[in-house]
Structure formats: C-alpha cells, structure tokens
C-alpha cells in the first residue's frame, strides 16, 4: 500500500469516527470514540478510571456502565452513608 493510499484510508476512517461526551448529573465522566472495534471510553474523572480504555457496543452501553459504576459508589437512597472509620 502506498503512502497516499494509507493517508486516504486514515482520512476516510477519521471522517466516520464518532465521539460523544458522557455527563451524569452535571459531572463529565469521559468520552467515547468509535473505531472498528466499537466505542472506546476515555475517562476524564478519576472516579471512572476503572472503565478507561474499555470497549462497548454503543455509546449508550458506555453511558449505562458509567451510571452503574456511579450507583455502586453512592449509598442507596434512604441509606445513611458509611460511617466506619479505621482507627
């Protein structure tokens, strides 16, 4: 493949890529960028670093994963926050 063909292929791929910002409750969790393997998540908040670099079938699936991770970190409604301390 010539350099021109490689450049054309990269340009074509760049034009078809999609990127979305994922925000939950006014908090930017990160972005997802589409490529040939799916949607890759890039964290912009340390709380979501566990998902960083992960691939999802859709941007919506990535958003659901972010929401699920956030729910795990928050106490359920009506539950008091944990007050355990290490002494």
Query: How do residues 4-53 score in pLDDT, each as one tens digit?
Result: 545 555 555 555 789 999 999 889 999 999 999 999 999 999 999 999 99
Entry pTM: 0.67
Per-residue pLDDT for 66 more than 50? yes
**Type and span of the H or E element at 69:** helix 59-73
The first and second tokens of residue 3, run together, are: 């350099």
């Amino acid at each position: 493949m010539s350099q021109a063909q490689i450049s054309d292929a990269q340009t074509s791929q760049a034009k078809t890529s999609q990127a979305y910002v994922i925000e939950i409750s006014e908090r930017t969790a990160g972005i997802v960028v589409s490529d040939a393997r799916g949607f890759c998540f890039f964290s912009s908040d340390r709380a979501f670093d566990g998902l960083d670099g992960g691939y999802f079938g859709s941007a919506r699936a990535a958003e659901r994963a972010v929401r699920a991770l956030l729910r795990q970190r928050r106490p359920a409604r009506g539950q008091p926050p944990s007050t355990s301390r290490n002494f």
